[in-house]
Every structure is written in structure tokens, then in C-alpha cells.
Amino acid sequence: MKYISTRDKNLKVSFEQAVKQGLAPMRGLFMPENYIKLPAEFWANLFDMSLPEIGYYVGKEYVGDEIPDEDFKKLCSEVLNFDIPLVRVKDKIYSLELFHGPTCAFKDVGARFMARCLGYFSQRKNEKTVILVATSGDTGSAVANGFLNVPGVDVIILYPSGKVSEIQEKQLTTNGGNITALEVNGVFDDCQALVKTAFANFDTKGKFKLTSANSINIARLIPQSFYYYYAVKQVKSYDSVICVPSGNFGNITGGILALKSGLPVKHFVAATNANDTVPQYLQSGVYTPKPSVQTISNAMDVGDPSNFERLDMIFSHSSKEFGATISSYSFSDEQTKKKMSVIYQEYGYMLDPHGAVGMLGIEKYLRDNTSDAPGIFLETAHPAKFLDVVKSAVNTEPILPEALKKCLDKPKTSIKMENDYKELEKILAERYL
């Protein structure tokens, strides 16, 4: 498999090159040159396959022989060593719980996969690699956990000051070792812009490799397709509708890659909070990014989603083609809190604010289309990561998993900086040049 750029289809690189570079020249994003084709026996056996087996068979189509079979099997077993259960919430509505990994968020899958791929390539060539990543909440903690103490790799996380939950911030800032947190005076879009500017402009002088672990990196995106196959395996239906709470739109792009490989899903829904750039695009046909606004579902506070460029390429730059596969709706904080309260009171199921947006989205689609298809929404983070919001909505405090308890008593360590690329450039130069 070769990888092309969203801004230059003539550029073709290997999987290893795409992972290491993170961002393509001219700020393009890497995409598989072709959609994968899974053999008939894969589909015949899907309902009986484990999550690591799905990861191996799907991932191998993207990685090819760049990681030997036995090494890749081991990699998938280590990455996917926790369950992602499909839980019935009510009627024909199911929650795909993606929060059972070490940092209690869906990004554990992508971050751990990328960490092991990059670690494999770096150790083989004895290279120094620096991961530069922007986070609106959960990406940073998942990346930090995935890369903690990986030889030859340092991680620098940029996060918006005061705009992540207390637990999220603790997960970002208490690791030490090869993990550094930069607390930026700005919003997530500012952090993301700083990262992209560094990739385009910072001269490493050949002393190290600079790459990203955001969903702009193809090694984050590919494994996010795995759990869509696993959801279909569990629901045992060929016509389900899947709703994805969406911020940077990497998660749903993984779902569309699965769909293009033949995954039997009827339709996708991208549910957003007040940051409604994509719903507005589908209404107007014109993509108009705008500054992000702060909401209670903070990991989705993105006004210019990076992965829109990938989806735009997939759907041939046509809003009509986009909308035929993906519907998109925006919901307010008030609607989100009400949904959290109602679902807990009536069904005893505790939603986090992102999952609540997802449930609103799947219910709206099924209602508007008078569909009786099974509806699946992604519950992307454990409710305990948003203690204050959840307690306020359901009047009950979620129980903290052990993975979250451990970081709360550790001291926060971060470097505060302005939204200024020169400051980031100085930090990188002082550390690595």
C-alpha cells in the first residue's frame, strides 16, 4: 500500500514514511492510495472474530510487509488488549463503549497503535523522534500513555489552558519522563495551528524526526477503523446506522474507510456540539471554518476540523455526495445535559457529554427517517473524566476508574506559553538542536 497526499495525488510514500512525516508537504494529509479489499473469508468469519484478529487482518492491508506478520500480530494483541463492548441502552439503540482502555477514552486505540508502529520503525533505525501533538482533551493523555518511556521517542503536547477538564489536565501533565505538556493561552484550534506551522517551517537540521500523533497522522486514523468492524460483529446486523460524536472528524473518517472496504453499514451520522462547521457545510454546500466555541463536550470544540480535508477528498469535493453517506447535526449544551439526565433517570445508563451528543444524533436520524434499523452511537470517554458536568446533569457522581484515580494526586507540571509560534520554535530549538 502506498500513501498519497490530499494536496498532491502524484506524491506516493510508504506506510513508514507517512507515519514518520505525519503531515505531507504543503500541509497535505496522507491517505491510502486505494481503498482496501478484504477477502470473502474475512466477511464470512467476521461475527466470530476477536478484536485483535480484526485489527490484524484489517491493519495488515494498510501496513503490508513493512512490519513482518508475527511482529504485527503481536503489536495488535498488545494494542487491543481491552474490550470495546456494544451495550444496549434502550429499544434498538446501542452504545459502543470505547473507554475501557488505559486512559478511558477512544483515542487509546489509535495512540497505542501509532506508538508501537513508530517505536518499531525508530528502534530498527536507531533514530530520535519527537511527537508534536495538539489536544482538546483526550488525544494528549492517550498519546502520553502510549508513548511513555518508549525508547528514542519524546512527546510534546500542546493543550488550551483552562479548556480541558481537571482529570484530562492531570492525565496530560503528570507523566514526566519523555512527556512534556505545553499549556497554551488559546483554544484548541490555536494549538493545532501551532503544530501544523511547526511541521511546515521548523528545520530539524537532520538531528531528529518531527511527527504528529493527532488524527492528522495516518497511523492514528487506520486503527480507528477497527472498532467499526467490531461493532458490526456484535450487533450482528448488516443495516445499522452509526453516529459518531465529531470534533476533528478523524474518528468518523476511520468509519468511512471501513465502509469503503465493504463494511455493511447503512448510514453514518456526525453529531457535533455548537461547533457546527460541518452541519452548516452540508446545508449550504460551502465549507466555512470559524473560531471554535467552548462547550461541555470540550473534546469536540473544533471550528476547522483537520480531517474534513480527507472526507472532502473521499467524497470528490461534493457536499451532495458527502451528505448521501453522512448526515450531520449540531446540538446545544442544554440538549446534551437534558439527554444525559433523561437517559440516566429512565434507563440507568450514564453518558459522558460526548456520548450524549452521539445519542442525540442517532435518535434524530432514526426519527427523521422513520427507520427501525439498529442505531449505534460511540461513547468516546468514561463519564468520570467529566465529573462536574456529569454530576450536574444526573445528580450522581460517576465512580472513578483506577486508571483515573492514580493521576489525581500527582503534581501538575506544564510549561505555559502564549499562542505564538516563535515560543514553540524556541522550545524545540533549545531542547533538540
Could you tell me which residues come within 8 angstroms of residue 189 by beta carbon, excluding any fewer than 6 positions away? 291, 292, 302, 303, 304
For the question of residue 107 being annotated catalytic, the response is: yes
Amino acid at 328: S
Mean pLDDT in residue range 116-141 = 83
Strands laid side by side in the 129-134 sheet: 209-211, 129-134, 153-160, 179-185, 415-418
Catalytic: which of 20, 107, 196, 337?
107
Quick one: CA dihedral 124, 132, 427, 7, positive or negative?
Answer: positive
**What residue has cell string 483537520?**
306
- Residue 363: pLDDT over 80: yes
Q: Where are the domains of the chain?
A: 83-103+220-399
Q: Output the pTM of the full model.
A: 0.88
∠265-369-284 over CA atoms, to 5°?
Answer: 90
216-228 burial, b for 16+ CB within 10 Å, e for fewer? bbbbbbbbbbbbb
**What pLDDT score was predicted for residue 135?**
87
- Residue 214: pLDDT over 80: no
C-alpha 371 chain-centroid distance: 28
**What pLDDT score was predicted for residue 84?**
98
Mean of pLDDT over the chain? 93
Mean pLDDT in residue range 78-95 = 96
**Closest by CA position to 148, among listed 123, 164, 171:** 171
What is the rounded distance in angstroms from the CA atom of residue 240 to the CA atom of residue 221?
22
**What pLDDT score was predicted for residue 106?**
92
- Name the fold adopted by 83-103+220-399: Rossmann fold (3.40.50)
